[in-house]
Amino acid sequence: MSTISQWQLRAAFAVRLSEMYGQEVPAYTTLVDVSREVNEDVLRAQGADAERLGSIGRVTAERHGAIRVGTPRELQQVARVFGALGMHPVGFYDLREAAASAVPVVSTAFRPIDGEELARNPFRVFTSMLTPADPRFFDAGLRARLETFLAGRQLFPPELLTLADRAAAERELPEDDAERFLRLAVSVFELSKEPVDRAWYRTLEQVSAVAADIGGVRSTHINHLTPRVLDIDELYRRMTDRGIEMIDTIQGPPAWKGPDVLLRQTSFRALAEPRPMRAEDGSVVGGELRVRFGEVEARGIALTRTGRALYDELLGHVDELASRSPVESRHDIARAVWERHMPGSEEELAAEGLAYFTYRLADDRPSDAATPPAGLAELVRQGWVRAEPIVYEDFLPRSAAGIFQSNLSGQGTRDNEQTGAAYDADWLSGAVEREVLDPFALYEQQQNRSLAHVARSLGLTTTLR
């Protein structure tokens, strides 16, 4: 019998999840259709330039999902399921700090980490874990009730976890096991039809809508699935023209004439969906919950730590200016700030060490008889070496918090007099029993490997940087 490799499992999982979500949330299908149209139009207008940050095949298939779980144990099980698909935890995001309202979660993203795997299928899942131990949100009584509730549920059937461990160990599955694994894995993320305990849900909702979404039910679900688009401003206009009400901003860097960096995202609000509720007297009644929404994103070049510090500084600067002149649009302010402070070309980003690139020998470089100039900048300038931008594969805490908040029904409550429970990447690594990787280190390795290869091919004895 034939076997299915990890990347094939990942690609198949992404497709099936997308089919399931499209059936459950029809507006998602509209978003995917409009994204595809925009991408085709951009490709037609820009030709090869449109593929500078990924082939059209990759971009069209590209999705990220988001899920939320309740406990370290559940997070460890998520890590096993995604480990089967060749996806590793990358980055630590503390949304408790990034959000003004009550978003009591810490997060990571599961994704492929090497270039070839990303090119095959870059599927990633932003995964958040509830923090019942944080006294700013939960008092001792509610924490105890919540932890007991979460300890008593099972999100992932044992058969799924066994198959996942096998796929991770063998890096493939026989065809029939692969089929079983995919079915079980997709069904875990469907919206449950089980009645929701209304009183319990409401209790948690008063603290935080996110807490209710995670800890108020006995299952998990995918809460959005995000296609990638090449022109997010155009997508925003077209969705609005179709009568879909988008949130009022595009998160992340503004639209401007310079290079796209990091990540720009926008979304439409969660839709009210019918859900059976168990009332206080035990009867099952009709109800509605808003837990699933639509999001779309445009990806740009990965920034170095220095580049990222500049991005964060500019955002702070925009905040300050926007608070001083509330009538001016934040977007116009941001664009003006960008034009003043953000380098306007890839060459400048590279020269200032602000962004990551892979380097390769140019096919049409000067003949091998010539002596290459010294230094990376000259090699690029004189046409020996080409620099290709590395696409940003991760998330932005502030944008993520914005996405959470724009979809909350209320602000929730938060007691800032209390000291928050401490979590960090090391804590998260312990919980998932594997290292939570540092995104900067991954991009840097990719850049350094390409530089070492160029240096070797040119017979250089010095390190290029």
Residues that bind ligand OOG (CB under 6 A): 66, 68, 126, 128, 223, 265, 295, 395, 399-400, 403-404
Supply φ then ψ for residue 311, to 5 degrees: -55, -50
Closest CB 402 distance from ligand OOG, rounded Å: 8
Q: Render 366-399 in DSSP notation, one character per residue.
A: SPTTSPPPSSHHHHHHTTSEEEEEPBP-S--HHH
Which residue in the shown chain puts its C-beta closest to ligand OOG? Answer: 400
Residues 214-253 binding Ni ion (CB under 5 A) are 226
Closest C-alpha to 90, from 112, 106, 105: 112
Q: How far, CA to CA in Å, does 90 sit from each of 150, 362, 381, 432?
A: 25, 32, 34, 12
* Distance of closest approach, residue 214 Cβ to Ni ion, in angstroms: 16
| Residue pair 78/127 in contact by the 8 Å Cβ criterion | yes
**Positive or negative, the Cα torsion across 172, 395, 235, 345?**
negative
Q: Applying CB under 5 A, does 205 fall inside the site for Ni ion? A: no
211 vs 403 by CB, closer to ligand OOG:
403
CA atoms of 372 and 365, how far apart (whole Å)? 10
Euclidean distance between CA atoms 460 and 465, whole angstroms: 12
Q: Tell me the closest approach of the beta carbon of residue 74 to Ni ion, in angstroms.
A: 19
| Residue 203 structure tokens | 């209790």
CB of 101 to ligand OOG, least distance (A): 13
Residue type, 24: E
Q: Which is nearer to ligand OOG, 68 or 111 (CB)?
A: 68
State in angstroms the smallest separation of the CB of 99 from ligand OOG.
10
Which residue number, 223 or 447, has a Cβ lying nearer to Ni ion? 223
Contact yes or no for 253/396 (Cβ under 8 A): no
* CA-closest candidate to residue 72, choices 133, 125, 113, 123: 133
CB of 128 to ligand OOG, least distance (A): 5
* Identity of the residue, 278 or 292, whose beta carbon is nearer to ligand OOG in the bound complex: 292
Q: How many residues bind Ni ion (CB under 5 A)?
A: 3
Residue with smaller CB distance to Ni ion, 66 or 455:
66
Q: Does 295 bind Ni ion (CB under 5 A)?
A: yes
| C-alpha torsion angle, residues 211, 212, 217, 220 (rounded to 10) | -50
The partner in contact with residue 69, picked from Ni ion, ligand OOG, none with C-beta cut-offs of 5 to 8 angstroms by kind, is none
Closest CB to Ni ion among residues 67, 164: 67
Q: In the numeric block, which tokens belong to residue 323?
A: 């608070």
Maximum pairwise Cα distance, the chain: 87
To the nearest whole angstrom, how small is the minimum distance from the Cβ of residue 205 to ligand OOG?
Answer: 16
Binding mask 33-72 for Ni ion (x = CB under 5 A): ---------------------------------x------
Distance CA 388, CA 229 (A): 20
Output 77 or 127, the one with its CB closest to ligand OOG: 127
Q: Which does 266 bind (CB under 5 to 8 A by kind): ligand OOG, Ni ion, none?
A: none
CB of 407 to ligand OOG, least distance (A): 7
Select from 192, 189, 198, 409 the least CA-distant residue to 287.
Answer: 198
Q: Give the distance, in angstroms, between the CA of residue 82 and the centroid of all CA atoms in the same chain.
A: 14
Task: Quote the CA–CA distance of 346 and 303 in Å, as a whole number.
Answer: 11
Site membership for Ni ion, residue 394 (CB under 5 A): no
Nearer to Ni ion, 250 or 376 (CB): 250
Work out what residue 399 binds among ligand OOG, Ni ion, none; the CB cut-off runs from 5 to 8 Å by kind.
ligand OOG
Tell me which residues touch Ni ion (CB under 5 A): 66, 226, 295
